[in-house]
């Protein structure tokens, strides 16, 4: 009996060993024979002309990570999102008052807005989410853990920019305050973007409150603020199809001089109010010219060359607060138009003498706005009789005021040729 049991145990053990071997080894598997060097060389030559076998392993990108520091890396899945567009898009945003805050301290949120606007394939911004651009940049690994309103230094800005563009990062910060203007210059240089002075001068009537056209950095700022197509001619950048942001003026009027437009905007901001009606605001602008100017003899002007004399005349009048009727009327006209009031600068004769004034047509009626004559009536040595109100004067009710407009030469010829 014991012999039978022993035989059974031996058989069971043999079956167990066989089962284990079948799991870990292929039947009839043999250890491969060692190949001679000649055989290895022959196979290598043959494989040089063969297509490599397909593999199911996912390919690995050569630059799967963009290193920011020893601790911070850009996640592999975000590399496609972290690429700047090659288009010359605007990446400098103006505020509601059409100023940039160029000398303000740069913050992480401002840097995030710049980088977001330059992305080739940006994720849409979430609605009603504060500092959404900052969150996107943080998710991309561009920034570490910072609050949106934290100040960003030159070194940290360049380190973040290096995620997108191959630039040298400064070892230390030289400026006590790293401003938005500093960031613009660095970014333009890193992207190889150079402003086209001729094209920018052609659109210089579009202005910004804190960047007049005579500023040394004006061209650099316009490069960052205006989207445009570009072609390269050597080291020159040639603009085309600039996309101009909407003007802050209700009428879209500008004088053609950023410097003058800024002065006009400052006056409008000083003397007008949203709590007053448009008529009341116009009257305040009228009073500003009347009460802040003094009379001084200046050259007479013609309507034919108004495009040449109007802007410099108004600039000088605002700077000196002096001038003749053309200076008074030109300044009032410019303020009215900048505010959004449609009116005309008129040149001609008043009671037979050369004169300048402003006219506007409202509901089919033409009105006179003659601020210089009203100024004279307030000064006895000029008009000793009495004060006259020349704001919105209806000539139909005041025929004693003789205004005769000078017609441009080209308009006179056209009228003479009309049958």
Residue with tokens 């920034």: 143
Nearest-angstrom CA–CA distance, 120 and 110: 18
Range(s) within the chain of domains with CATH label 3.10.620: 258-417
Taking residue 72's Cβ as centre, other Cβ atoms within 10 Å add up to 16
Helix (H) or strand (E) holding 259: helix 258-271
Single pTM value for the model = 0.49
Give the pLDDT means over successive 10-residue stretches in the chain (419 positions).
52 48 40 40 40 37 35 42 87 76 92 95 86 92 92 94 92 78 96 92 62 80 93 88 62 75 92 89 96 94 93 96 97 92 93 94 90 90 76 84 84 37
Q: Is 109 exposed, middle or buried (0-12, 13-18, 19+ CB in 10 A)?
A: buried
Which value, in Å, is the radius of gyration of the alpha carbons in the chain?
38
Q: Which CATH architecture has domain 258-417?
A: Roll (3.10)
Quote the distance between the C-alpha of residue 210 and its chain's center: 13
* Beta pairing partners, 349: 354, 404
DSSP state of 350: E
Inter-residue contact 81 to 87 (CB < 8 Å): no
CA-closest candidate to residue 357, choices 338, 329, 317: 329
Inter-residue contact 372 to 324 (CB < 8 Å): yes
Token digits for 205? 């009537």
Nearest-angstrom CA–CA distance, 117 and 57: 36
Taking residue 132's Cβ as centre, other Cβ atoms within 10 Å add up to 19
Alpha helices in 272-370 (DSSP H): 278-292, 306-320, 325-339
Token digits for 274? 């949203």
Inter-residue contact 343 to 286 (CB < 8 Å): no
Specify the pLDDT at position 71: 39
Inter-residue contact 106 to 183 (CB < 8 Å): yes
Helix (H) or strand (E) holding 227: strand 227-233
């Amino acid at each position: 009996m014991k012999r039978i049991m022993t035989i059974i145990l031996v058989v069971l053990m043999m079956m167990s060993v066989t089962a284990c071997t079948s799991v870990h080894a292929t039947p009839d598997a043999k250890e491969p024979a060692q190949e001679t060097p000649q055989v290895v060389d022959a196979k290598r030559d043959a494989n040089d002309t063969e297509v490599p076998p397909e593999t199911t392993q996912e390919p690995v990108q050569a630059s799967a990570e963009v290193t920011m520091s020893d601790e911070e890396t850009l996640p592999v899945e975000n590399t496609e999102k972290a690429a700047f567009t090659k288009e010359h898009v605007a990446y400098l945003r103006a505020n509601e008052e059409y100023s940039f805050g160029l000398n303000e301290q740069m913050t992480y949120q401002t840097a995030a807005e710049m980088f977001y606007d330059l992305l080739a394939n940006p994720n849409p911004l979430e609605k009603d989410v504060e500092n959404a651009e900052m969150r996107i940049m943080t998710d991309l690994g561009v920034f570490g853990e910072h609050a949106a309103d934290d100040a960003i230094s030159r070194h940290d800005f360049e380190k973040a920019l290096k995620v997108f563009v191959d630039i040298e990062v400064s070892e230390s910060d030289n400026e006590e305050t790293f401003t938005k203007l500093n960031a613009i210059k660095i970014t333009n240089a890193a992207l190889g973007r150079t402003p086209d002075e001729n094209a920018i001068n052609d659109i210089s009537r579009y202005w910004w409150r804190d960047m007049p056209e005579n500023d040394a950095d004006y061209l650099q700022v316009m490069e960052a603020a205006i989207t445009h197509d570009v072609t390269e001619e050597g080291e020159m950048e040639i603009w085309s199809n600039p996309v101009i942001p909407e003007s802050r003026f209700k009428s879209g009027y500008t004088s053609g001089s950023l410097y003058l437009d800024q002065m006009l905007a400052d006056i409008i901001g000083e003397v007008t109010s949203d709590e007053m009606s448009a008529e009341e605001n116009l009257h305040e602008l009228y009073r500003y010219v009347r009460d802040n100017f003094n009379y001084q003899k200046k050259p007479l002007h013609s309507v034919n060359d108004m495009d040449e004399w109007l802007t410099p005349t108004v600039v000088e009048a605002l700077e000196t607060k002096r001038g003749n009727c053309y200076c008074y009327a030109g300044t009032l006209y410019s303020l009215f138009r900048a505010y959004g009031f449609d009116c005309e600068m008129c040149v001609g004769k008043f009671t037979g003498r050369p004169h300048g004034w402003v006219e506007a047509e409202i509901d089919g009626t033409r009105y006179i706005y003659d601020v210089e004559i009203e100024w004279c009536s307030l000064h006895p040595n000029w008009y000793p009789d009495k004060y006259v109100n020349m704001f919105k004067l209806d000539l139909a009710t005041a025929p004693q005021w003789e205004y005769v407009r000078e017609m441009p030469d080209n308009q006179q010829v056209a009228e003479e040729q009309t049958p």
